[in-house]
Chain A
Amino acid sequence: MPSSPHASHPAAPHHTLSVLVENKAGVLTRIASLFARRGFNIYSLAVAPTEDDKFSRITIVVDVESAPLEQITKQLNKLINVIKITELHPDHAVERELLIATVRAAPEVRGQVIQLVDVFSGRILDVGHEDLTVSVDDEPARVDDFEELLRPYGIVELQRTGRVALPKIERPARLRGVRRAS
């Protein structure tokens, strides 16, 4: 689940599933274990309650071919607590990810780091003698770029949230919807 410390573009067959579930204990394990049983790696996973606290939305990014993914979504749909699964095509979704990193920023390069954070409309969260803790939230690809540009300074610690996504506010026909029991 943790994003790789390196540039984190998922390789070719990358799918984003948005899974609406009942907000009940154990749901996340059930979902994760369906992927694990087939030996699939979950590339990123983010979960939190929705506007209605009876439900949570899980955004899962996986690297699999479409055929095995179809079997997985069908198996996910069989889980009693899963309400709806939608595959979000990147062209028709808004995606965001948050990155927090502590980076080496000795006085002679500090200005450069701050500038970089500025370019990405990020924030400085904490300041030390040698280090800065910074954050950026953006499209996952931009976050990748930021991470890439930050790396030469020396990353002490880094954490990304995994992506969260919603469909764009447009005609629902654009969704490649994977509907329950259809």
Chain B
Amino acid sequence: MIAEGQPTNGGRALIQSLEMEGVEAIFGLPGGAILPVYDPIIDSPIRHILVRHEQGAGHMAEGYAHATGRPGVAMVTSGPGATNIVTPLADAYMDSIPMVCITGQVPLPAIGSDAFQEADITGITQSVTKHNFLVTSAADIPRTIREAFHIATTGRPGPVLVDIPKDIVDPNNPASAMDWYWPDSVDLPGYKPNTRGHPKMIKQAAELICRSERPVIYAGGGILKARAAEALRELAELTGIPVVTTLMARGAFPDDHELCLGMPGMHGNYTAVTSMQESDLLIALGSRFDDRVTGKVPDFAPEAKIIHVDIDPAELGKVRRPDVPIVGDCRLVIEELVRAIGDLGGSDAQPDRSPWRSRISGWQEKYPLTYEPSEPGDGLKPQFVLETLRDHTPDDTIVASGVGQHQMWASQHWKFNHPYTWVNSGGLGTMGFSVPAAIGAKVGRPDRMVWAVDGDGCFQMTAQELVTAAAERIPVKVAILNNAYLGMVRQWQEMFYEERYSEVYLSPDLPDYKLWAEAMGCEGMRVEDPEDVLPAIEKANEIDDRPVVIDFRTDHREKVYPMVPAGQSNSNIVVDPSQGEGGH
């Protein structure tokens, strides 16, 4: 450790700053501009994980943050290294993931000259980061790192990028000379997130709740960001109000709880979608009225009054004007709300909601999530694979998913009973997210079993990170639901483009996933028959010294139901054809 006031250089100061922030892992890949920072890593206790592509580093940092709640850290070189990490930054921005990304930059005097591997990365990432910095002096490094972590992790969390020119970290360059210091506070006069909800608003919300006959709690990813799962449960149990958990909030409220309605939205279950639609009060907690949840906005929950709690004032009224807007940290606000409801009489103050409850259980009985079992000789039913996996892995298994049909089936059919077990790209919908995100999650939670559920299309985008996992002995497990197609796109073509399957066929055998897995240092398996599904999963569960990939050959005709066609009202939800025409 460099002592306070001791002369050092920017590169060492950067690494020590990361140590001061409690960073235990960095996901990255070096290059010329960031080289001086890689040198002191050798002597640091921080674990560096060398990725095969910078996109992998970004998604690993995200997976790490999803699973641990601590900021993920990625470090890459300038130019192409930096541009390769733009997608994960955008992904983290959409899903409010705390992340700090350090990019190398050409030396200060060369900036703006189109120097080799120069990219204006602060310009490029301006609209996909919560904030970014171009550091222009070695002496600013500790302060900037401190600010970056503060911004990334407080208020509405998000990605922060710190771009660092080579000369100010290069020990051989006088521009890197500085005396070590660690700021004991941050000075950001324009940044003061409001965490405490307004007492008057909270009281109003409590009164509204105690008057409502058909309320639904609409829980979003903000619950998890605010570590508010416990508080949410208390609120739901106190009032007996059912809870829907959005794609980002899966696990924020236990699926096995009698008040849990599961996922709403475009591919949400019938009961969750319809309960919101028919409600007279939506208690939106850390949720942002995404179009995938609301469907056609003017027709969304037409009779519902809205209580909207969010740490980000810009979310309130962005899509739907709330009757009671509350800016604040979800956990603190819910705790206050529980108190305010208690003051009004608590559970005794709740109106008789038995008619509402019986309508809900009517929908649950009439429209359960179903699928037809596979016929002999056909591919596996993806739902069956997921259910088997769900039933034969530990209850607290972490599941990371790609984007597409497999993602929706995983969210629908898994039982999430613990927070921070669902690692997912919700807002940006990034194919290629799951393999690196699973690796990041496993680095953060080595005690947990981590499964990636991936599509064959997604897998091909970032599978090379399994080389990283094998080399670094990060034993994640990957279930590819291989339907030989870009399945979600195929589904839309089938339903909305008269079955004209343009450019969506991938082939089940090209590549040979088993051989590919083996070539990357993983255990590879292929499963074609339903009776082989469980043995393969059990075998995979036992392997703990390297990654495992199972290529499940699934039925390419299977579609995700229910479905609300894009841009339509949630009232037009279409259920599985076996449940009747049109679903209503």
* A interface residues with partner B (beta carbon < 8 Å): 21-22, 25-26, 29-30, 33, 37, 70-71, 74-75, 77-84, 180-182
* Interface status of B193 (Cβ within 8 A of chain A): yes
B188 cross-chain contacts in A, Cβ below 8 A = 80
Once the chains are docked, how many angstroms separate the CA of A27 from the CA of B399?
Answer: 40
Once the chains are docked, how many angstroms separate the CA of A82 from the CA of B190?
Answer: 5
Once the chains are docked, how many angstroms separate the CA of A84 from the CA of B190?
Answer: 7
Residue among A71, A75, A79, A80 with most chain B CB within 10 A: A80
Q: B194's closest neighbor in chain A, by CB?
A: A181
A25 cross-chain contacts in B, Cβ below 8 A = 134
**Contact flags B108-144 to A (C-beta < 8 A → 1, else 0):** 0000000000000011001100110010000000000
Once the chains are docked, how many angstroms separate the CA of A68 from the CA of B403?
Answer: 32
Task: Flag if B189 contacts A77 (CB, 8 Å).
Answer: no
Once the chains are docked, how many angstroms separate the CA of A30 from the CA of B126?
Answer: 7
Task: Flag if A33 contacts B317 (CB, 8 Å).
Answer: no
* Chain A nearest Cβ from B529, distance in angstroms: 51
* Chain B nearest Cβ from A107, distance in angstroms: 49
* Interface status of B314 (Cβ within 8 A of chain A): yes
Which listed residue (A30, A33, A181) contacts B192, Cβ 8 A?
Answer: A181
* Chain A nearest Cβ from B376, distance in angstroms: 54
Given A21-B190, A80-B151, A74:B313 Cβ within 8 A = yes
Once the chains are docked, how many angstroms separate the CA of A9 from the CA of B446?
Answer: 64
Once the chains are docked, how many angstroms separate the CA of A141 from the CA of B131?
Answer: 38
* Chain A nearest Cβ from B558, distance in angstroms: 38
* Interface status of B191 (Cβ within 8 A of chain A): yes
Q: B327's closest neighbor in chain A, by CB?
A: A181
* Interface status of B336 (Cβ within 8 A of chain A): no
Once the chains are docked, how many angstroms separate the CA of A33 from the CA of B127?
Answer: 8
A83 cross-chain contacts in B, Cβ below 8 A = 189-190
Closest CB pairs A-B (n = 4): A74-B314, A83-B190, A80-B131, A181-B194
Once the chains are docked, how many angstroms separate the CA of A113 from the CA of B312?
Answer: 55
* Chain A nearest Cβ from B111, distance in angstroms: 11
Chain B stretch 310-340: residues in CB contact (< 8 A) with chain A:
312-314, 317-318, 327
Which listed residue (A33, A75, A80) contacts B190, Cβ 8 A?
Answer: A80
* Chain A nearest Cβ from B130, distance in angstroms: 8
Task: Flag if A29 contacts B190 (CB, 8 Å).
Answer: no
Q: Give 6 pairs: A residue, B residue, CB < 8 Å, sorted on A.
A: A26-B122, A29-B123, A29-B126, A33-B127, A74-B313, A82-B190
Task: Flag if A37 contacts B189 (CB, 8 Å).
Answer: no
Q: Is the interface of A mostly helix, strand, loop or mixed?
A: mixed
Number of B residues contacting the other chain (C-beta, 8 Å)?
21
* Chain A nearest Cβ from B441, distance in angstroms: 28
Task: Flag if A181 contacts B151 (CB, 8 Å).
Answer: no
Once the chains are docked, how many angstroms separate the CA of A25 from the CA of B193?
Answer: 23
Once the chains are docked, how many angstroms separate the CA of A37 from the CA of B126?
Answer: 12
Which listed residue (B123, B130, B314) contacts A77, Cβ 8 A?
Answer: B314
* Chain A nearest Cβ from B308, distance in angstroms: 13
Task: Flag if B314 contacts A37 (CB, 8 Å).
Answer: no
Task: Flag if A71 contacts B190 (CB, 8 Å).
Answer: no
Task: Flag if B193 contacts A181 (CB, 8 Å).
Answer: yes
Once the chains are docked, how many angstroms separate the CA of A104 from the CA of B194?
Answer: 57
Task: Flag if A71 contacts B313 (CB, 8 Å).
Answer: no
Once the chains are docked, how many angstroms separate the CA of A55 from the CA of B190?
Answer: 11
* Chain B nearest Cβ from A17, distance in angstroms: 15
Once the chains are docked, how many angstroms separate the CA of A70 from the CA of B321?
Answer: 12
Q: A74's closest neighbor in chain B, by CB?
A: B314
A70 cross-chain contacts in B, Cβ below 8 A = 317
Task: Flag if B126 contacts A33 (CB, 8 Å).
Answer: yes
A82 cross-chain contacts in B, Cβ below 8 A = 190
* Chain B nearest Cβ from A60, distance in angstroms: 16
Given A33-B126, A37-B127, A80-B131, A22:B317 Cβ within 8 A = no
Once the chains are docked, how many angstroms separate the CA of A33 from the CA of B128?
Answer: 12
Chain B stretch 172-205: residues in CB contact (< 8 A) with chain A:
188-194
B122 cross-chain contacts in A, Cβ below 8 A = 26
Once the chains are docked, how many angstroms separate the CA of A26 from the CA of B327?
Answer: 28
A84 cross-chain contacts in B, Cβ below 8 A = 190
* Chain B nearest Cβ from A150, distance in angstroms: 39
B190 cross-chain contacts in A, Cβ below 8 A = 21-22, 79-84, 180
Q: A82's closest neighbor in chain B, by CB?
A: B190
Once the chains are docked, how many angstroms separate the CA of A74 from the CA of B318?
Answer: 10
Q: B156's closest neighbor in chain A, by CB?
A: A78
Task: Flag if A181 contacts B313 (CB, 8 Å).
Answer: yes
Q: A37's closest neighbor in chain B, by CB?
A: B127
Once the chains are docked, how many angstroms separate the CA of A162 from the CA of B122?
Answer: 28
Once the chains are docked, how many angstroms separate the CA of A67 from the CA of B256?
Answer: 41
Given A71-B317, A74-B314, 12 further pairs, Cβ under 8 A = A26-B126, A26-B134, A33-B127, A71-B318, A75-B314, A77-B314, A78-B130, A80-B130, A84-B190, A181-B193, A181-B313, A182-B327
Once the chains are docked, how many angstroms separate the CA of A83 from the CA of B188?
Answer: 9
A75 cross-chain contacts in B, Cβ below 8 A = 314
A182 cross-chain contacts in B, Cβ below 8 A = 194, 313, 327
Q: A181's closest neighbor in chain B, by CB?
A: B194
Once the chains are docked, how many angstroms separate the CA of A182 from the CA of B328?
Answer: 10
Residue among B131, B191, B317 with most chain A CB within 10 A: B191
Q: A78's closest neighbor in chain B, by CB?
A: B314
* Chain A nearest Cβ from B314, distance in angstroms: 4
Residue among B127, B131, B190, B194 with most chain A CB within 10 A: B190
B327 cross-chain contacts in A, Cβ below 8 A = 181-182
Given A29-B126, A180-B192, A181-B327, A77:B131 Cβ within 8 A = no
Once the chains are docked, how many angstroms separate the CA of A99 from the CA of B189?
Answer: 35
Q: B131's closest neighbor in chain A, by CB?
A: A80
* Chain B nearest Cβ from A95, distance in angstroms: 25
Once the chains are docked, how many angstroms separate the CA of A71 from the CA of B319?
Answer: 10
Once the chains are docked, how many angstroms separate the CA of A80 from the CA of B188?
Answer: 7
* Chain A nearest Cβ from B238, distance in angstroms: 29
Once the chains are docked, how many angstroms separate the CA of A37 from the CA of B127?
Answer: 9
Once the chains are docked, how many angstroms separate the CA of A26 from the CA of B312?
Answer: 23
B193 cross-chain contacts in A, Cβ below 8 A = 181
A29 cross-chain contacts in B, Cβ below 8 A = 123, 126
Once the chains are docked, how many angstroms separate the CA of A182 from the CA of B326?
Answer: 10
Once the chains are docked, how many angstroms separate the CA of A79 from the CA of B388?
Answer: 47
